[in-house]
Structure 1
């Protein structure tokens, strides 16, 4: 019976490659779940903050006007206050108002656990929520 000395150790190389691939897949699953969870949380928080801002209707626009408009300063303050009260930590946020709409954008870098092995320390996540001020049940879209 002949022994194959030139193939000696090939199983070890194969095992190392398979282990590395399995670790990368585990990293994608674990860290991918963290990123998806962070994105869902940011989206929900951005939408809630936009709704809080959209409730700040200008009193002057409600009296005798055909269209309502937002009190932009109060809308931005209310949205920022909601973000602070929510307790989540974000790297940056912006609150923009245009006419009847409030747009809140949140950004965060989610740290990874398993993907650090391959050099990915964090994943950047961005979420946007918007809300439109509305009064009554038959308001026209503009």
Structure 2
């Protein structure tokens, strides 16, 4: 049996390319899953912090105007307290209170493991959670 010297080693090149592609796909699956998990966890935390803030209703707003207004300082404090207890770094979030709405924004860089080999050291995750103060059963929100 004779072998053609022009084809010698072509299987090795093919194997290297296939292994590289499979490693990249594994990296996308592993690190993509980590990023999706971190996004879901952060989204839940942001929503819960916003709900904690939306519970801080200004007492006079219920009796006087019939509308619901938040105690802005109390809402910010409650949301920040919830985030701190959840282990979120103070420079990784912002809390905004407007009228009867609390908006919590979280950002985090999720470190990668496999994709680090191709120069992608982390994935940036940005989520926003919003909550409105409850206005009652028969009253529509304005």
Report which stretch shifted further, 8-17 or 63-72. 63-72
Aligned mates of 2:120, 2:104 — CA distance in 1: 28
Q: CA deviation at 1:2?
A: 3.9
User: Over aligned residues, Cα RMSD in angstroms?
Assistant: 1.3
The answer to whether the 8 Å contact 1:90/1:107 transfers is: no
1:13 aligned counterpart, secondary structure: helix
| Structure 1 match to 2:82 | 82
Aligned residue pairs: how many? 142
- Name 1:14's counterpart in structure 2: 14
TM-score normalised to structure 2 length:
0.95
* 3-state DSSP of counterpart to 1:7: coil
State the 4+ residue runs in structure 1 displaced beyond 6 angstroms: none
In the alignment, is the contact (CA less than 8 A) between 2:52 and 2:78 conserved in 1?
yes
The residue that corresponds to 2:71 in the other structure is 71
Using structure 1 for the length normalisation, give the TM-score.
0.95
Alignment check: 8 A CA contact 1:112 1:123 kept? yes
Q: Which structure 2 residue ranges, 5 or more long, are not aligned?
A: none
Unaligned segments of structure 1, at least 5 residues:
none
